[in-house]
Amino acid sequence: MEQKRTKEEYRKWSQQQAPGTPKAKNLVMAFLVGGIICTIGQFILRALLNTGMAKEDAGSLTTLFMIFIGAFLTGLNVYDDIGRIGGAGAAIPVTGFANSIVSPAMEYKKEGYVMGVGARMFLIAGPVLVYGIFSSIIAGIVYYLVS
Amino acid sequence: MEFLKAFIVGGLICVAGQLLIDLTKLTPARIMVIFVVAGVVLGALGIYPRLVEWGGAGASVPIIGFGNVLAKGVIEDVDKKGLIGAFSGGVRAGAVGIAAAVFFGYIMAVVSKPKAKNKT
């Protein structure tokens, strides 16, 4: 379908996509949606801490619950709508990380459970883990050398 | 009060991401990579843990908080075991998040159907 666009249409389209001034509405929605998601995380964290759980475990478990929520809402086709409203406010929280795993995996399920689901799960999560883990190893080596 | 702090910190981090999207041509995937690496750097420098102390889930729920967890694990393990800790700490500290993402991500991808696309 993309190829059927005329040059003129493409030019218009690419201008719309080109970076410009930030839209105030986008920033407000990112703030609200991101803030609400993090507040939900804080409620979960507080509830876990109130059970007497160690701080570190409560943090890990909060992440687990947030990932579950993000994956679940993506499966229900709800998270994409949240993403349209919230932009980065939906993408940056860890629920958006879960969304980036489930969304392409279910989209490409017809390609099979290995190269479809299994591989596509890491379309975005893969680069995040590669650069995250790689940079943490560099940080660890530097820390070892200076300490 | 802690909920308001989480709301403000989390919201502001997402605004930073939205600014990057609007001002540059960066895709959300690249923003996520930038944020996780930024989390590792700010975590290793000891800056991000202070933000987590203040903002709670507002700082730990955004993906930049995952980078902070990786850095925290690496530093703990280097302190305990030396250089090998640089390789063990990150994945150890991030294990629950990574495993949960694989586990719930796989289940939800298998059981759910994508919405029929009605492109105009």
**pLDDT tens-digit series, residues A118-143:** 999 999 999 999 999 999 999 999 99
The answer, as to whether pTM is greater than 0.80, is yes
- The Cβ-side half-sphere exposure at A113, using a 13 Å CA radius, reads 5
**Cβ under 8 Å to A: B residues 28-87:** 28-29, 31-33, 35-37, 39-41, 43-44, 56-58, 60-67, 69-71, 73-75, 77-79, 82-83, 85-87
Residue among B10, B26, B99 nearest A34 (CA): B10
In whole angstroms, what separates CA B17 from the centre of its chain?
13
ipTM over 0.90: yes
With respect to residue A17, please indicate whether it lies within any of the assigned structural domains: no
CB contact under 8 A, B86 and A1: no
Task: Give residue B51's identity as a one-letter amino acid code.
Answer: L
Q: Is residue A35 a part of any domain in this protein?
A: yes
Amino acid at B39: G
Mean pLDDT by 10 residues, chain B (120 residues): 96 96 90 97 97 97 98 98 97 97 97 72
> Which positions in chain B touch A100 (Cβ < 8 Å)?
28-29, 32
Distance separating alpha carbons of residues A71 and B104, to the nearest angstrom: 6
Answer whether B114 sits within 8 Å of A77, measured CB to CB.
yes
Residue A3 lies in a domain: no
In sign, the C-alpha dihedral spanning B69, A91, A127, A100 is positive
Contact by Cβ (8 Å): B52, B68: yes
Chain B: give the shortest CA distance to residue A108, in Å. Answer: 9
Q: Which domain holds residue A107?
A: 25-146
Number of domain units in chain A: 1
Which of B21, B110, B35 is CA-nearest to residue A135?
B35
